[in-house]
Chains A and B, each alone.
Chain A
Amino acid sequence: MGRIMVMGTSSGAGKTTIAALLCRHFALQGLRVAPFKASNLSLNSFVTSKGEEIGVSQAYQAWACGREPEGDMNPILLKPKGGGVCQIVLDGRPYIDVGRGGKTVERERLMGAVIAAYQRLMERNDVVVIEGSGSPAEINLRREDIANMATAEMAQAPVVLVGDIERGGVFAAIHGTYSLLEPRHRQLVKAYLINRFRGDASILGEGIRRLTDLTGLPCLGVMPFANLRFPSEDSLDLARGQGKGMSGADVRQGWLDNLDRLYWTSREHIDYGKIDRIALG
């Protein structure tokens, strides 16, 4: 059974896109692939054919795998309702409202759902591509973690760290994230990837060598900047009203076409052979 987990050094580092590329990559090899994200914080959800509510990016990743979305792909969905209150959608159904003066929910109950969903997916698939949430190095939230190292540990999944170079400080972000992990978690991290680069990547050579020396992690590649928008996740598009996210009749097909183009581009920049070895052993 193959598995691989994509974590980011911040939100917006490009986890969702990189995970979608990996989904596509394995699917094109004829493998049965499923995306998985233990917990999503989003108001943008999708409803599966069985009526389960999941985060919309897992739906897109499912299509990238050439299949229909399932509830197990995203067992926990947190929908902020305002005023500090959050609706928890568990296994695709509204479960409870938590937050400000209201109820709380036991972490074990949530983790239990994550484990069960993940196991069901593993039974039915050759590879599961797991996406983390935010940064795994929020040292103030260690005990509450579900979607990052807790999931990686549960799945014993090898982890790829994605750093966003657009804002600068990417070497520090990767080194810092790796260093702040607990040792038993650190050993699950197998490689890093630099995302959203503009310009001539040869100027990064020395930095990559130094970072690899420091962490012992190989670099999977430097991904050029690309704008693969997950249509309804893009708050900018939402603000501008409907129908402006993508041209063409079928938004989903348009997105998949873009993903395919990006995948073939990415083959020139990312070492997929190494990814196969990490994920499939």
Chain B
Amino acid sequence: MDEHWSKVISELQNFRPGPNRECEYYHCHYDGQDCSLCFCPLYPCLDPRLGGMVVSKRGTEVWSCESCYWNHRGEVAKELAKRIAPTATRPPRSELERAKKEVEALHPVSAMPIMILGATSGAGKSLLVAALCRLFSDMGFNVAPFKSQNMSLNSMVTPQGGEISRAQALQAVAARTEPDHHMNPILLKPKKDDVSQVIVEGKPYRDMDVKTYYGEFTLGEGTEIVKRAWEFLKKTRDVVVIEGAGSPAEINILDRDIANMKAAEIAQAPCLLVVNMEWGGAFAYAYGTVDLLPPEKRRMIKGIILNNMHGDASCLDEGIKELESRLGIPVLGVVPHVEHFLPDEDSQDLAKEKGSGELRVGVIMLPRIANFTDLDALALEGVKVVYVKEVRSLEGVDAVIIPGTKNTVADLRWLHEKGLFEAIRSLRGKVPILGICGGYQMLGKEVIDLNGVEGDEGASWEGLGLLDVTTNFEFYEKRTTQVTGRLADGSGEVRGYEIHMGQSESRESPLFYLKENGSEKAEGAVSPDGMVMGSYVHGLFDLPAFRSAFLSKIPHRESRDECPQDYDRSVEEGLDALASVVGSSLDMNRLLTILREGL
């Protein structure tokens, strides 16, 4: 009697997709696994890519698929169940093999990687990866983005509570999947000068300077971390779109760089090189980048993409032909400049004013400004976001926002140096003032850092005193969590995430009530006159309710006058529009061949 097959029959008859978190063995393969085919109909498949022989307790050799994730992927389980009938007796092996083969053609055992490298930072890698994620997802693939190492102060929190770069989170949205820390296993958050906080697999690891990072970390631990993340993505996805960092041809750190060719090598990914046309010299950047790579790495570059072209691309033909023949690498297309509304990642873009409305919101441009993507949603309201570095730029603003910072203490000192400390205080009661995260901490009366967690010297610092709030940096400890809740005035929902060191104690009314462990927790602070607000919630403007509540505090502004736009929907639309431009500009057949052929 085939005991195993009878279990298979019952699970095929009561097919229950998704993880079974109640099971005492959950998660026996990986967190998030699909448990519908706990007993695999293919067992023992004897496919060396999925398992191997081990010696059992009884001393006999048995097939083990402990390390197999394939049939625990939701889409694979579903497709297998479609093809294998719960017949009374086990079907012949050939039939099972055929089913396996058919499903493999849709969802390969090992993900097909493709990597986007840039000739410079700002070449357009992130958005191109997002566009490809969307295009591959449209084709029915299970897609994930991957960037081994990212340097950014714009991070977000995954559903599992891990911190990753906001760019990978956006790419996950483009791929129609949940963001998780495997997509960005190393995140560097610049703290001061050459020092960054290193986030590993979603959790703060330690602070490192450039020399330690490249001298000790990348080749040892760093490489292992990248391998781990890749192995996971490889086993759980059909296609992984990998993003490089900066240029892969920095010949001063070539052998210690794990964000570019090393990652490509680990994943065995064919690479495409993107060059920004906007600044000129694109052909030289492309040629120089490829030519500076050692020959074995050069062979991994399978295509070139000319990005961000203003005007007519036909004048490039001659140059493209010469570049292709000199390098022996095809140019896959010229992507035109696209006006888009998608969250910014690169701080270089900060200087651009956003939005075009009559209302001007002054955002204090702190030297260590973080999570400035919080403000993108404001542009939806027809608000003009202006960046304030000097007192005179504050003149005539209708509202003030102090954003997050990587270093509250240092940036508080900067406010004093610039005279902005007094200037902001003088606007009390006249225009709404909002502090987010570090900005919230600054709005309080005092920032206590006796252990020097933020600055080098342990001390207590006077805040702007606009809210009756005290912040204490007692421990080197960080709160990273996604939150949902409602506005305290009952006018709607809020959704976002918290990422901060330090705890604040408020004696003001709360701004939000957030859901926590089945009850509600007060969060943030609002002054008695309602004009000064502070909160730790990043992304607080994403849903329309708080945007509208904040802007309605502006004197003479009629509240809730326009039909508020949904930020999520506009991101979706932006991604679709971007993907459509990229898809029609590139030779997609060639790109798919590159993807399928691999290295």
Contact = CB atoms under 8 A, between A and B. Distances in A.
A32 interface: no
A39 B122 CA distance: 28
B251 A173 contact: no
A280 interface: no
Contacts of A211: 251
A177 B281 contact: yes
Nearest to B312: A84
Interface in A116-139: 134-135, 137-139
Contact of A137 (B211, B252, B284): B284
B279 interface: yes
Given A139-B323, A173-B285, A176-B285, A207 B251 contact: yes
Nearest to A236: B351
Contacts of A174: 288
B120 to A, nearest CB: 4
B558 interface: no
B292 interface: yes
Interface stretch (A54-62, A87-95, A163-171): A163-171
A179 interface: yes
Contacts of A214: 292
Given A135-B280, A138-B280, A205 B285 contact: no
A206 B279 contact: no
A134 B281 contact: yes
A84 to B, nearest CB: 9
B119 interface: yes
A139 B283 contact: yes
A141 B322 CA distance: 12
A169 B315 contact: no
Interface in A203-220: 203-208, 210-211, 214
B320 interface: yes
B249 to A, nearest CB: 4
Interface core residue of A10, A172, A173, A214 (most chain B CB under 10 Å): A172
A83 interface: no
Contacts of A179: 284, 287-288, 291
A200 to B, nearest CB: 7
A239 B353 CA distance: 10
B210 interface: yes
Nearest to A214: B292
B292 A175 contact: yes
A212 to B, nearest CB: 11
A226 interface: no
Interface string B113-155: 0000011111000000000000000000000000000000000
B319 interface: yes
Contacts of A204: 252
B309 to A, nearest CB: 12
B281 A10 contact: yes
B288 A171 contact: yes
Interface string B241-285: 000001101111100000000000000000000000001110111
Nearest to A208: B252
B286 interface: yes
Nearest to B392: A244
Contacts of B351: 236
Given A139-B283, A173-B281, A206-B252, A167 B320 contact: no
B122 A172 contact: no
A120 B118 CA distance: 44
B194 A199 contact: yes
Contacts of A200: 194, 210
A141 B319 CA distance: 8
Contacts of A207: 250-253
Given A134-B281, A139-B323, A140-B316, A168 B288 contact: no
B22 interface: no
B284 A169 contact: no
B288 A172 contact: yes
Contacts of A168: 120-121, 246-247, 250
A254 interface: no
B121 to A, nearest CB: 5
Nearest to A199: B194
Interface string B179-206: 0000000000000011000000000000
B120 A177 contact: no
B317 interface: yes
Contacts of B287: 176, 179-180
Contacts of A253: none
Contact of B251 (A9, A10, A171, A239): A171
B289 A172 contact: yes
Interface in B284-308: 284-289, 291-292
B562 interface: no
Nearest to A140: B319
A24 B317 CA distance: 41
Contact of B318 (A10, A139, A169): A139
A51 interface: no
Contact of A138 (B121, B250, B319): B319
A167 B280 contact: no
Contacts of A205: 252
Contacts of A138: 280-281, 283, 319
B284 A180 contact: yes
Interface string A242-261: 00100000000000000000
A11 interface: yes
B402 to A, nearest CB: 21
Given A10-B279, A135-B281, A210-B251, A140 B317 contact: yes
A169 B251 contact: no
Contacts of B120: 167-169, 173
B375 to A, nearest CB: 19
A135 B284 contact: yes
Given A12-B279, A138-B319, A203-B253, A169 B194 contact: no
Given A168-B246, A203-B253, A137 B283 contact: yes
Contacts of B284: 9, 135, 137, 173, 176-177, 179-180
8 contacts: A12-B279, A139-B318, A141-B319, A169-B247, A169-B249, A171-B251, A176-B289, A207-B252
What 6 pairs across the A-B complex have the smallest Cβ distances? Answer: A176-B288, A140-B319, A207-B252, A135-B281, A169-B247, A172-B288
Given A138-B280, A171-B251, 13 more contacts: A8-B281, A139-B322, A140-B319, A169-B289, A171-B288, A174-B288, A176-B285, A176-B291, A179-B288, A180-B284, A200-B194, A203-B210, A208-B252
